Amino acid sequence: MLRTPTPTHDANALGGSKNLGNLPEWDLTDLYPSNDAVELKRDLDWLEEACRSFAADYEGKLADLSAEEFLTAIHRHEKIENIAGRIMSYAGLRYYQLTTDALRAKFLSDHQEKVTIYTTPLVFFTLELNRIDDGIIDALFDANADLARYKPAIRRIRAMKPYQLSDEMEKFLHDMGVVGDAWERLFDETIAGLEFEVDGEPLTIEGTLNLLTEQDRSVREAAARELAAVFADNIKIFARVHNTQSKEKEVMDRWRGMPTPQTGRHLSNDVEPEVVEALRNAVVAAYPKLSHRYYELKRKWLGLDVMQVWDRNAPLPMEATRTVGWDEAEETVMNAYTEFDPRMGEIAKPFFSKGWIDAAVKPGKAPGAFAHPTVTDVHPYVMLNYLGKPRDVMTLAHELGHGVHQVLAAGQGEMLSSTPLTLAETASVFGEMLTFRRMLDNAKNNAEKKVLLAGKVEDMINTVVRQIAFYDFECKLHDARRGGELTPDDINALWMSVQAESLGPAFEFMDGYETFWAYIPHFVHSPFYVYAYAFGDGLVNALYAVYEENPDGFQDKYFDMLKAGGSKHHTELLAPFGLDASDPKFWDKGLSMISGFIDELEAMEG
């Protein structure tokens, strides 16, 4: 129910200089004026009473409600979701600005506990809802068109019916949720507090990862070795977090009777397991014609006999080292969005002018990038760690796409606005594609076009190949944990088992690379989230092909899809474009776009 913000993009864009212009910071006053605001206290008091009275009015009575009474109950539940979501968004976003600050961590923890305690009486709602016969539910929908609008949300709740525990057990697990969250916070605080030193300069993890995209190979190597050394020093903490989280999940899944560790994610994504399996198999089968082929090209460009891991995101030799100031980044993305449709530019504009983006890299700030939707009557907030490389522009385009999507879907209300993860990446990846196409069209010569194409291929490989390799690693990790505690060496071995397969024969792996699983936040915050990136990229590639073939009327259909939020299944959302993600051949269309870009790069060699 509660949407605490989590980092959601394994940002490929890392880079930097300090002369970036005036980088925006969040203004969180649209949520609450301050951490001791009377409005916050008022909302906490309201929430406690609203949850108590909701339970008093409806517990044990849901099956006997008329359609109108049931609609009133849903509206009351949505209002509770809204206030709880506002409180947790404020506490969470404030924390992510400075995760090393003990008072912010305490503020988040205290409010998490209060909200959990206050909302425990609501646990009955979904449990009782799932005990009502299908016939009664259908009759309620037939009797009231306004209630029928909530059918997709109710259907998703009822999909959990086979895995539901007793009322007492569900309340217990709800209360225990704050304990699991503590492991996530330990991970966040450990990552944000890591200290690195390269060539005598103290750096955060963002600054160190940034060096992996430097032109100077010795700097990239020094950064990779420093990352490995610091991860190794902290590997016991990361192994403990992963062991505990995966064991907690295994216990939960076993009690619920879930057939696989991935089942819960597929259910929350509203996607069929066979669709994900088809995606995974299509990508793995395409490794040789995608990542293996591209990295062989890159190996030649770099003039190397064999590539090391610190060469994976290296700039090309013909690529000029260039810092993109914030104003230029804003102009590039805004022009791309506006050229596609002026309405998109209008939605994106306030992100830059009203304190909806926090862009600068700062000590203690959460790494990576994300867009958090907050609640439907406020607006999203975008977090970046902007360091001025061209790929950072793509991350801005990506997260702004999430923001636009979230603004458009807000009209659906709390229960229907949240898009399943598989479709949540659609607008973000589409925003990247629009920005890339604009930059490609404006390329001054073939060399510049080559650099842009190669950069896009690398981003797509990072989004598709790398994330499916991450997914395979998670599958292996959770499977292995069922057999007992995993040592750091055990986890390292699982990581390496997917890396060579996905990256291909162009690579050699340095000692220490086996620990690089440790810093990926998705494994801790959102198990099995990562396939959503590959899903989104494949879907957008297919969508973009439709747009190129027949642009007439595309924008309106595209906006309708984004406005739908979570109110429709992926089959309904894609039908107007003549696309069907349940068709195994669907994924080959998306992958062929990446392959086609590599064909272009190979042709440039000739």
What distance lies between CA 230 and its chain's CA centroid?
26
> Which three-class secondary structure string do you get for 381-413?
EEECCCCCCHHHHHHHHHHHHHHHHHHHHHHHC
Lowest mean pLDDT among 108-112, 344-348, 568-572: 568-572
Could you tell me if residue 225 is inside a domain?
A: no
Amino acid (1-letter code) at residue 93? L
Cα within 13 Å of Cα(374), Cβ side: 23
CA dihedral sign, ordered 143, 145, 146, 149: positive
CA distance 329 to 335: 10
Average pLDDT over residues 531-537: 90
Could you tell me if residue 280 is inside a domain?
A: yes
Range of the domain at 590: 276-354+389-605
Could you tell me if residue 402 is inside a domain?
A: yes
What's the confidence (pLDDT) of residue 6?
41
Single pTM value for the model: 0.82
pLDDT tens digits along 431-487: 999 999 998 888 888 888 898 899 899 989 998 999 999 999 999 999 999 999 999
- End-to-end CA gap in the chain: 55
pLDDT tens digits along 324-347: 999 999 999 999 999 999 999 999
Residues 93/98/101/106 CA torsion (nearest 10 deg): 10
pLDDT class of 9 with cuts at 50, 70, 90: very low
C-beta separation of 121 from 54 below 8 A = yes
Could you tell me if residue 255 is inside a domain?
A: no
CA distance 530 to 337: 26
The domain that contains 443 carries what CATH number?
Answer: 1.10.1370.20
Residues 430/433/439/441 CA torsion (nearest 10 deg): -110
CA dihedral sign, ordered 151, 156, 157, 159: positive
Could you tell me if residue 467 is inside a domain?
A: yes
What's the confidence (pLDDT) of residue 320?
75
Could you tell me if residue 79 is inside a domain?
A: no
- Residue at token pair 């040789």: 288
What's the confidence (pLDDT) of residue 444?
85
Could you tell me if residue 222 is inside a domain?
A: no
pLDDT tens digits along 247-273: 999 999 999 999 999 999 999 888 899
pLDDT at 106 over 70: yes
Question: Vertex 528, ends 525 and 530: CA angle to 5°?
Answer: 90
Could you tell me if residue 590 is inside a domain?
A: yes
Q: Using alpha carbons only, how large is the chain's radius of gyration in Å?
A: 24
pLDDT tens digits along 163-191: 988 888 888 888 887 777 888 999 999 99
pLDDT tens digits along 396-416: 999 999 999 999 999 999 999
Q: Total structural domains in the chain?
A: 1
pLDDT tens digits along 195-234: 999 999 999 998 999 999 999 999 999 999 999 999 999 9
